[in-house]
Chain A
């Protein structure tokens, strides 16, 4: 019980002055922030390596190459090497400014026949960024598959756009209308229409919008046009 009385007398703090209160609070806050920052910086490389794995998994998820059984990291790396990577210049709107950036597009070939074209899609969700990959069939118009590997919106609500049931809706949808505009997910036409996840409408609509942006003239639209004019042969060998 002696420990108890000692603790109480110190927390009553009859002799404590304002200066000590400020000083102790400041030192504790400083030490805490150093510990948090230190841990974050020390563990960042390890965490980022997992983000890469998640990204590769997402690319392969939509490539149609992934086996049904869970693949090891080594198998994933081997499959990644089968893809042809092309760097494409796209303009992205960042805080109102249009920025030109180079983004990797993945082409899936089997025996010199194009199977799928995989485009990165990214943009603002409800209040945090969403990143994913969209795979198009060789006609470069029909959606083959979509997958989101980084969803910053509310866990358990916004991240339901990654549920297989919702993503299955995208399969076979026409990405462009007859005029060649990217209209995926908008309007009532059943060829383009995608229903939002109940309870996650804003995130779902954002996902559809960022896919339309990626397919539009500022995104990969010009690249897809160029690809259509090509003979659809692999460019050199895989990476």
Chain B
């Protein structure tokens, strides 16, 4: 286990969103503006690093029978603390992100990393793993948000870049990109892009095609 791999692998090669297809719910909901995506990425990264380090420190003392419950308690506490900080210091963003910060508790990336990594490795590696996965998630969020905000409202971080027809410019925004389903298309496009570049990521089909004879078809 090289520290560098632990940090960098999850960013593209083993990205939690495009490779493992985790954390899709929040990626769909909050990527219609870049600012939301940045804050959400930051919040998830902070929670992931905190949870990973805490659980790694406790890994020799965690009772196996209630392991998941204890991990969820720690994750939920980290999320509530992150949410409280957002409410205090970024109230506007906290209002637009609404429930999605709280829902980090159920984001499968977090429990996925604590369960598969933090329980087995030392706190330093666990911190790097949390940071790497947080950055990988944030990267996907930022890419999706840039595409959606730029083409959906002609702006980035609220700054108008493409003058809209409605304001006398030339750009007709694609309203579909502001709606949650469009995030599906963009994320699917990203996954296709990564997998066409790295064919080793393509999963083997679970069901094989068979040819039926004329008799069997009836």
Give A residues with C-beta under 8 Å from B. Answer: 1, 3-4, 6-8, 10-13, 16, 20-21, 24-25, 28-29, 32-33, 35-36, 39-40, 43, 46-47, 50, 54, 155-156, 159
Cβ-defined partner of A6 (8 Å) among B60, B67, B81, B125:
B60
Are B120 and A43 within 8 A (Cβ)? no
Q: Does B66 contact A (CB under 8 A)?
A: yes
Are B81 and A28 within 8 A (Cβ)? no
Cβ-defined partner of A25 (8 Å) among B66, B87, B89, B98:
B66
Chain A, interface SS category = helix
Determine the distance from Cα of A32 to Cα of B50 in the docked complex, in whole angstroms.
12
Determine the distance from Cα of A40 to Cα of B82 in the docked complex, in whole angstroms.
11
Binary contact track B59-91/A, C-beta < 8 Å → 1, others 0: 111111111011001101100110011011101
Are A29 and B84 within 8 A (Cβ)? no
Q: Does B162 contact A (CB under 8 A)?
A: no
Are B61 and A10 within 8 A (Cβ)? yes
Are B63 and A7 within 8 A (Cβ)? no
Give B residues with C-beta under 8 Å from A. Answer: 1, 58-67, 69-70, 73-74, 76-77, 80-81, 84-85, 87-89, 91, 98-99, 119-122, 125
Q: What are 19 A-B contacts defined by CB distance under 8 Å?
A: A3-B1, A3-B121, A3-B125, A4-B121, A7-B120, A7-B121, A10-B61, A10-B62, A11-B62, A11-B119, A16-B64, A21-B63, A21-B66, A32-B74, A32-B77, A39-B81, A39-B84, A40-B84, A47-B84
Are B63 and A25 within 8 A (Cβ)? yes
Determine the distance from Cα of A4 to Cα of B117 in the docked complex, in whole angstroms.
9
Q: A25-B70, A43-B87, A50-B87 are in contact. List 9 more A-B contacts (CB 8 A).
A: A6-B60, A7-B120, A10-B62, A11-B67, A24-B61, A25-B63, A28-B70, A43-B85, A47-B91
Residues of B within 8 A of A20 (CB): 63
Q: Which among A7, A20, A155 has the highest number of chain B CB atoms within 10 Å?
A: A7
Are A155 and B81 within 8 A (Cβ)? no
A75: min CB distance to chain B, Å: 17
Residues of A within 8 A of B76 (CB): 32
Cβ-defined partner of A46 (8 Å) among B63, B66, B88:
B88
Determine the distance from Cα of A50 to Cα of B92 in the docked complex, in whole angstroms.
9
9 smallest A-B Cβ distances: which pairs? A155-B98, A21-B63, A32-B77, A7-B120, A46-B88, A10-B60, A43-B88, A50-B91, A13-B64
Residues of B within 8 A of A50 (CB): 87-88, 91
B132: min CB distance to chain A, Å: 17
Across the two chains, which residue of chain B brings its CB closest to A155? B98
Are B73 and A28 within 8 A (Cβ)? yes
Residues of B within 8 A of A25 (CB): 63, 66, 69-70
Residues of A within 8 A of B91 (CB): 47, 50, 54
B42: min CB distance to chain A, Å: 17
Across the two chains, which residue of chain A brings its CB closest to B81? A39
Are A11 and B59 within 8 A (Cβ)? yes
Q: Which among A8, A10, A24 has the highest number of chain B CB atoms within 10 Å?
A: A10
Residues of A within 8 A of B84 (CB): 39-40, 43, 47
Across the two chains, which residue of chain B brings its CB closest to A51? B91
Determine the distance from Cα of A228 to Cα of B123 in the docked complex, in whole angstroms.
71
Across the two chains, which residue of chain B brings its CB closest to A6? B60
Determine the distance from Cα of A97 to Cα of B67 in the docked complex, in whole angstroms.
46
Are B81 and A35 within 8 A (Cβ)? yes
Determine the distance from Cα of A4 to Cα of B122 in the docked complex, in whole angstroms.
9
Residues of A within 8 A of B65 (CB): 13, 21
A92: min CB distance to chain B, Å: 26
Residues of B within 8 A of A3 (CB): 1, 120-122, 125
Determine the distance from Cα of A29 to Cα of B58 in the docked complex, in whole angstroms.
13
Are A24 and B62 within 8 A (Cβ)? yes
Across the two chains, which residue of chain A brings its CB closest to B63? A21
Residues of B within 8 A of A24 (CB): 58, 61-63, 70
Across the two chains, which residue of chain B brings its CB closest to A8? B120
Determine the distance from Cα of A40 to Cα of B86 in the docked complex, in whole angstroms.
12
Are A36 and B87 within 8 A (Cβ)? no
